[in-house]
Amino acid sequence: MTKNLRVRTSKFIDETYKISFKFDGKTYYGYKGDTLASALLANDIHLVGRSFKYHRPRGIMTAGSEEPNAIVQLHKNSSRTEPNVRATEVEIYEGLEASSQNCWPSVNFDIGGINNILSPLLPAGFYYKTFMWPASFWEKYEYFIRKSAGLGKSPTMPDPDIYEHKYIHCDVLVIGAGISGIIAAKTAAQNGFKTLLVDEKPYLGGSTIYQNSEHFKINNQISSSWLEKEINEIKKFKNLEIKTRTSIAAFHGYNFLLARENLTDHIPLEQRNNKTRQRLLKIRAKKVITATGSLERPLIFDNNDRPGILLSSAVEKYANLYGVACGEKNVLFTNNDSAYETAISLHQKGINIEAIIDNREEIDSKLIRETEKNNIKIYKGYTVVNTYGYKRINKISIMQLSKDGQKVVSSKISISCDCLGISGGWTPAVHLFTQSGGKLKFRDEDQVFIPNIYSSDQISIGSCNGDFTLDEILSNVPNSLREFLNIKKTDYENLEVRSSFNKTKRNIWLLPSDKVIGKTKPFVDYQNDATAKDIKLALREGFRSIEHVKRYTTTGMGTDQGKLGNMHALGIISETAGSKMGELGTTTFRPPYTPLTFGTIVGRNVGEYFDIFRKTPMHDWHVQNKAEFENVGQWKRAWYYPQNGESMHDAVQRESKAARDSAGILDASTLGKIDIQGTDASEFLNRVYTNAWSKLAIGKCRYGLMLNEDGMVYDDGVTTRLGENHYIMTTTTGGAATVLGKLEDYLQTEWPELDVYLTSVTDHYATISVCGPNSKKIVSQVIPDLNFSDESFPHMSFKNTKIDKIKCRVMRISFTGEHSYEINVQANYGKSVWEKCMEAGKEFNITPYGTETMHLLRAEKGFIIVGQDTDATMTPIDLQMDWIVSKKKYDFIGKRSLYRSDTIREDRKQLVGLLTENPDEVLEEGAQIVADVNKSPIEMLGHVTSSYYSPNLKKSIALGVVRGGKNMIGQKLIIPMENKKINVTVADPVFLDKENKRLNA
């Protein structure tokens, strides 16, 4: 039987709109306006979860985003399931299903609860201390630790929701729509600033909007009525945008902020389709006003975590905003006046209060006097020493405090209760301020950290700046705004304010007990089950830095980042270690303030939008001809063209043979192309390539190798001289952008005197490479007007010509070692010229080949691929390419590095060919190469970089890098694999046609 604890109509709850929802499989009812937490409390449910380490029963503790305990899983076993959601933030809707986390088989009977009994065996650092030995057992421990770690379950199905990113630029961003934020937003908007006001809650007005007390009045109106009018006014401003359900996740430097806007989380699932669920707002604000308010502190005493123990301010909010009593026998425990506000509110609503325990002894204020007038018993100078009740608090015992607050004296008094509201004063919510790089200062009188030095154009106002009372807010906020916005006056000067709050507080970080600390469980971090005892243990074990204590005890490391308990942890450390709070500093508050979904972070960048991909002009042809594709950088390149269900190996063998026997055709459009013009173009090439360029005749091509300044090979490709001052450079596919960037860098910063202009034309041309002994016959059919004789058009030369009326450049260059031509046409004619070549090549069985065959063919010739046969440690000398390094040139990029003491070592890894003893055995690329397997440890000499079965040589060939390999030709080495040792012989890297006869065949 559940009770109904709905007390009296609240104007925030629509009692005509009933909503049914499920919690742990059972159906309950709530009203529009309820959160999951308020609806559960109205049904008298406090127990909603189990704690992380000890599996202690835990209930709802707060009424906001700082909630450490009431963490639930939504919509289990559905694609929309979401773990670690705070019940205090979930607005209920028809069909909502929530369940408890971290318990099995149920929240009421949880086997893990045994950990609570075993807790003396689970001290701080338990995992670090226990699972260290023997080291080899870690794999076994890990399995169990992983199983028991973590809170909720992540979804296993694709996310059906839509997320997006949006940029917002504004003059003034106001964070938080409490009384200070509303005042700030209105003032900014009135003065013409383009203003954005955001608040994480679905309503405006913060905690003032549900006040209903004669003790807090502005201009003789109750503060909530006054604020309501202000809210109605700000809605009229055209230059003020208001976003509710929007939480600032991160406050970066330069006033750049990230926010999560919730759009559909509060509506029934079936209404969410095709709507954007959450938006990540990327906000650039000229000025930021932080009005994030403050969080109430709990009090730290034995068993302060039982279901039914809430923050006093949460008890008040549930009564005033949601019309829900958290219990029938309420007790409040406080060290300041806030609990009396709660008491007065509860009394107004007809909710019973058994007693108030106040740790202050001699106190008096208007609030206290009114409470006493209502016949509520107040125990002054007392503290709670223990609580009772396993799944719900049912009793507390209290004792009188000694004068110094260090001990308890007198005898115990028991008070039965079903709800205990606790208040330890207020902590300014400075999380965003510190994220932005702001520096805090400690205010001794009420033991709070408040903003001190700002890192950008921003201010903090209201209670996040340490102004907790209504009169402080209304006198300080207008002053701050005038100065910050540089305006003459605000609407808020000389308001008549009544604020009955007495600021006296008796701050005791860890309240004394009649038991020794070892026998108590005073929780500091509820979510991670870290107690004051753990913190003291850490200090005894020698930890001093707050950052270390945090990690050792896991205090503040839950999904709530210790919003409630971090200050107490600091306080206990400072008291125990005898250091000053201000000097101790705080731990770092990191983004996000509250957790973000992955969906929000990635936005629309999922599936095919995850990354762009580039297609060549002939892409559709490749698709039609069933090519398999390979990703090269962002390009999709045809990899091989399987016919009739061929395997990759068979296709590549067929393509490779056809290219050498008759003719092959390759789409080489992805090669980087840089157009180089200017009177100093030749000089420029001289400086960036290792070989000489001044004497290259117009119409000729030359292969070039580009180094980094450290002498290591960076890129390669053929460059053609199109005119006196005009070259076209080709780069590797992957290197196109970085090569252009590097060349621009040198031109702009080292050699600005050179008259050279670089333009990327990679996408402007389609490149078709036709190779093989019949290539000339095919290309001369496609371009009948051109003289293809060897005399007129020799290897390494170029012609400007036309195919029909289409201008094209034809280069006679070869990456396969075969007689071959490369036709470059304007990109949009690429496909038609390709098809012409295919048509002309029909009688010669022209065979399209992909990148895999290209790699095989060039390996037969020992041509390197930069990035495959080289990494950033190979010089041209290491590659046995001494021939391309000019001895005559005075300088080029990387030249000086080629004779550093390290680069001239004889035992550097050098590129060699590798032949297997068994010609059918193909090596694995990346396999290690050794000389002696009997020596331990086995000395690694190098590795295999390229390896293929060559159909043209009918044997396995490989390239590899081997220490000192240049002088090891003919030597036998070993490639040890998992189950066998493969014997190889070091060979010359050129396997086929050393004399280059095929180029002119």
Partner 1 sequence: MFLINCPYCGEREQSEFKAGGEAHIIRPKQPTELSDDQWAEYLFMRKNIKGIQFERWVHTHGCRKWFNVVRDTSNDIIKAVYKMGEKPPTK
Where does this chain bind partner 1 (CB under 8 A)? 252-254, 256, 437, 455, 709-710, 741, 744-745, 748-750, 752, 890-891, 895-897, 900-901
**Peptide linkage before 428 cis (omega within 30 of 0):** no
Quote the least distance from Cβ 456 to partner 1, whole Å.
9
Which residue's CB is nearer to partner 1, number 482 or number 889? 889
Of residues 813, 786, 781, 814, the one with CA closest to residue 800: 786
Neighbours of 726 (CB within 10 A): 14
Residue 125, Cβ density class (10 Å: 0-12 exposed, 13-18 middle, ≥19 buried): middle
What is the SS3 assignment for 604-667?
CCCHHHCCCCECCCCHHHHHHCCCEEEEECCEEEEEECCCCCCCHHHHHHHHHHHHHHCCEEEE
DSSP 408-429: EEEEEEEEE-SEEEEE--EEE-
Q: How far apart (Å, rounded) are the C-alpha atoms in residues 64 and 313?
A: 10
Quote the least distance from Cβ 737 to partner 1, whole Å.
9
Which residue's CB is nearer to partner 1, number 475 or number 873? 873
Which residue's CB is nearer to partner 1, number 850 or number 894? 894
Quote the least distance from Cβ 582 to partner 1, whole Å.
22
Q: How far apart (Å, rounded) are the C-alpha atoms in residues 297 and 446?
A: 12
Quote the least distance from Cβ 891 to partner 1, whole Å.
6
Query: What number of helices (H) and strands (E) belong to the chain?
Result: 23, 50
* Residue 731 near residue 705 (C-beta atoms within 8 A): no
Q: How far apart (Å, rounded) are the C-alpha atoms in residues 295 and 425?
A: 9
Which residue's CB is nearer to partner 1, number 27 or number 901? 901
Which residue's CB is nearer to partner 1, number 139 or number 611? 611
Quote the least distance from Cβ 480 to partner 1, whole Å.
23
Q: How far apart (Å, rounded) are the C-alpha atoms in residues 858 and 656?
A: 10
DSSP letter for 839, please.
Answer: H
* Residue 372 near residue 349 (C-beta atoms within 8 A): no
Quote the least distance from Cβ 870 to partner 1, whole Å.
19
Residue 576 backbone dihedrals phi, psi, to 5 degrees: -70, -40
Helix, strand or coil for residue 342?
helix
Quote the least distance from Cβ 703 to partner 1, whole Å.
24
DSSP letter for 62, please.
Answer: -
Which residue's CB is nearer to partner 1, number 376 or number 674? 674
Quote the least distance from Cβ 765 to partner 1, whole Å.
21
Consecutive H or E run containing 145: helix 138-148
Distances from the Cα of 492 to the Cα of 220, 469, 477, 632, angstroms: 14, 16, 9, 63
Quote the least distance from Cβ 746 to partner 1, whole Å.
8
* Residue 178 near residue 206 (C-beta atoms within 8 A): yes
Quote the least distance from Cβ 546 to partner 1, whole Å.
21
Strand partners, 666: 769
What is the DSSP pairing of strand 82-86 with strand 635-640?
A: unpaired
Handedness of CA 40, 42, 47, 51 (dihedral sign): positive
Quote the least distance from Cβ 282 to partner 1, whole Å.
9
Which residue's CB is nearer to partner 1, number 661 or number 710? 710
Quote the least distance from Cβ 674 to partner 1, whole Å.
13
**Peptide linkage before 976 cis (omega within 30 of 0):** no
Tokens, residue 811: 């280069």
Which residue's CB is nearer to partner 1, number 188 or number 758? 758
Which residue's CB is nearer to partner 1, number 762 or number 814? 762
Which residue's CB is nearer to partner 1, number 896 or number 972? 896
Which residue's CB is nearer to partner 1, number 109 or number 167? 167
Which residue's CB is nearer to partner 1, number 168 or number 864? 168
Q: How far apart (Å, rounded) are the C-alpha atoms in residues 126 and 149?
A: 14
Q: How far apart (Å, rounded) are the C-alpha atoms in residues 295 and 64?
A: 9
